[in-house]
Amino acid sequence: MLSFPDRLADAVRKKGPLCVGIDPRWDALPTAIREVYADLPPADRAAAAVLDFGLRVLELVAPFAGVVKPQSAFFELLGPPGMRVLQELLIRANDLGFVTILDAKRGDIASTATAYADAAFAGAAIDNEVVPVWDADSLTVNPYLGEDAVEPFVTAARASGRGLFVLVRTSNAGAGLFQNLVCDGKPIYLHVGEAVARWNANTIGQCGLGAIGAVVGATHPRELVELRAALPNVWFLVPGYGAQGGTAADIRAAYRPDGLGAVVNSSRGVTFPFRPDDPAWEAKVTEAARKASAELRS
């Protein structure tokens, strides 16, 4: 089996750097899907509609993207039925050949961090059997509790052949409040980036990139240049493209000369380019994925 960074490289070589974010919102779902489940109790209705929509989106975007990123919050919001939907979508994404990123931004210490990591990757050890939970290829991690909070995730990722994406320079408007603070002559995000480089160093695959990646927003093109120069062997997960204002031109600095090095996330721009009552919603999703993929490949 290929290492995580090599599986990611293979997906990008085949289908380009587009990563499709799956962030289901009840009010934005197609009316035609919501109506199918109108007779179910509210929680079951929402979960069934989200599963129906999510499965169809995976099929529609499969020709244009090799990576998908479900955001756990939108499934947790639906309670236990929503969590089962998340599990089913991850299973189906794996069956379709996607590399999966579970976007949960975990960050804790000691046994709690280990439990989060096992849930994301290897599964729960019960007696002599391991029961899969999310079985994702990779997980987003918040490093701001310190190295002892990240190390259990790094250890679990290495042991199971999976990957991490550590928050370094995020795409939200308020990111600079802490990330831009200067310490020892450089901003905090560069200190975090240097730590990512250390964690990544002994995970390098045949593609020349490692399993411990960095989240670096498309809305900060100058920092993208800076961080790519500082982290030549690190995969970047780049949010902020599309609906948040980042452009394909803004992202060019994230790639290495060989075209690898970054996967670029688009959530609303690809999965919700339609009005809920639009009967042609599937065609709109397909076209949005095709257009995003072409822009990013160029």
Supply the residues annotated as catalytic.
Answer: 105
Closest by Cα among 121, 107, 208 to 158:
121
197, amino acid identity: A
Instruction: Find tokens 């919501």 and name the residue.
Output: 34
Count the helices and strands in the chain (H runs, E runs).
Answer: 13, 12
Instruction: Find tokens 């609303």 and name the residue.
Output: 268
Closest by Cα among 110, 84, 95, 103 to 22:
103
Show the beta-strand stretches assigned E in the chain.
Answer: 18-22, 67-70, 99-106, 124-126, 129-131, 138-141, 163-169, 182-183, 186-187, 212-216, 236-238, 262-266
DSSP reduced 3-state for 84: helix
